[in-house]
Structure 1
Amino acid sequence: MGGLSIWHWLIVLAVVLVLFGGGGKIPKLMRDMGQGITAFKKGLKEEKKDGESGPAIENADASAPKDKAAG
């Protein structure tokens, strides 16, 4: 009973972050993360619009020499 569980430590850490980090830093961090995800998705959509049918790995496999043992 004397030990603290992981949940107790997480709550203490959250309180310390809010007290010493300020209340505005956590929302700012989440907003930056959301903007990063949005930019990543936008980049993927633009890449497909450029006319590329797939990753470059597929095209490299077509030009790779065949194995002699495979027949």
Structure 2
Amino acid sequence: MTANRVVQGRMVTAESLAEMIEGEDVMDAESIEDADRECPECGSDVLEVGYMPSVTAFVTGWKCQECDWSDTDRE
């Protein structure tokens, strides 16, 4: 399991990273991983986290470590 990571200058847990991506509370989150991609806005490293925004949904989200960019695998 990956430890907490620094995102935009502050330490985040998997849950708080998922909440940054989702914009609201999440039910559960898996560990933070390094995504094999660069941020399309600033070129910095991107983190990946899988999380459940609700009982019936599972989402993979990505968040840049340096800027506001984030994305999910939602259709």
Q: Normalising TM by the smaller chain, what interval?
A: under 0.3
Q: Compute the TM-score of the two structures, normalised by the length of structure 1.
A: 0.22
Give TM-score, length-normalised by structure 2: 0.21
Structure with a larger share of its residues in strand: 2
Larger relative contact order (C-alpha < 8 A, sep ≥ 6)?
2
Tell me which protein shows more helix as a share of its residues.
Answer: 1
Query: Which is higher, the Rg of structure 1 or of structure 2?
Result: 1
